[in-house]
Structure 1
């Protein structure tokens, strides 16, 4: 089994896709006006508008209500990424900090309040774990 994608449901898909394109430096592919995907290597971040929920049933998901998931991106240099995004990301939760498990981490929120973590392994153990 392989994790194929992570999907975010949003009430403002254009705003969220633009934010994610800017923060990841990857372009989305729009399949309909209500569904886009950003593919990075073997990972895909899917973004669907609330209108896509009608296919799954009422009440199955609610936009801007995530309180338990952090979307994580391994980056080459978290400090450089912070410098690149800090002028347009308005909700920085944690500036680059080296965590006890050996990753340097930058935590921020997207416009819907979802937590995003950019991280770079910096200790020998963290680097080895992700090889």
Structure 2
């Protein structure tokens, strides 16, 4: 089995796609006006509008902007540099400024426009580098 992607359902796909393009510095690909993807070497972040829920059986199976349990995590080269680069974009959205966590990652936690938690992290401790790089 290969973990392939995470999909966010949103009521405003253009706003969310623009946000993820800003924070990652990578373009997302629109396949339809209601579905886009950010493909990285390790996984894909899919963003679907609420209109796509009809294809799965109805709007009641998922609710946009209701996540309170998942954190989307992106490993970045320098979390402190990204924090500075994104200061304007993240204004009012930062949950935790860059902090070194007990497990050896330096972490920046913030919310996307739908309220989903996003973690940018950089492994800084030797144990974290070994765990993540093998």
Quickly name the TM-score band, shorter chain normalised: over 0.9
Instruction: Report the alpha carbon displacement of residue 42 of structure 1 after superposing the two structures with TM.
Output: 2.7
Residue equivalent to 2:79: 78
Helix, strand or coil for the counterpart of 1:108? Answer: strand
* Structure 1 segments of 4+ aligned residues over 4 angstroms from their partners: none
Residues 34-113 of structure 1 aligned to structure 2 (within 5 Å): 34-58=34-58, 59-90=60-91, 91-113=93-115
Helix, strand or coil for the counterpart of 2:18? Answer: helix
Return the alpha-carbon distance in structure 2 between the equivalents of residues 87 and 42 of structure 1.
Answer: 28
How many positions carry a matched residue from both structures?
131
Return the alpha-carbon distance in structure 1 between the equivalents of residues 94 and 45 of structure 2.
Answer: 21
Unaligned runs of 5+ residues in structure 2 are none
Cα RMSD, aligned residues only = 0.6
Unaligned runs of 5+ residues in structure 1 are none
Q: TM-score, normalised by structure 1?
A: 0.98
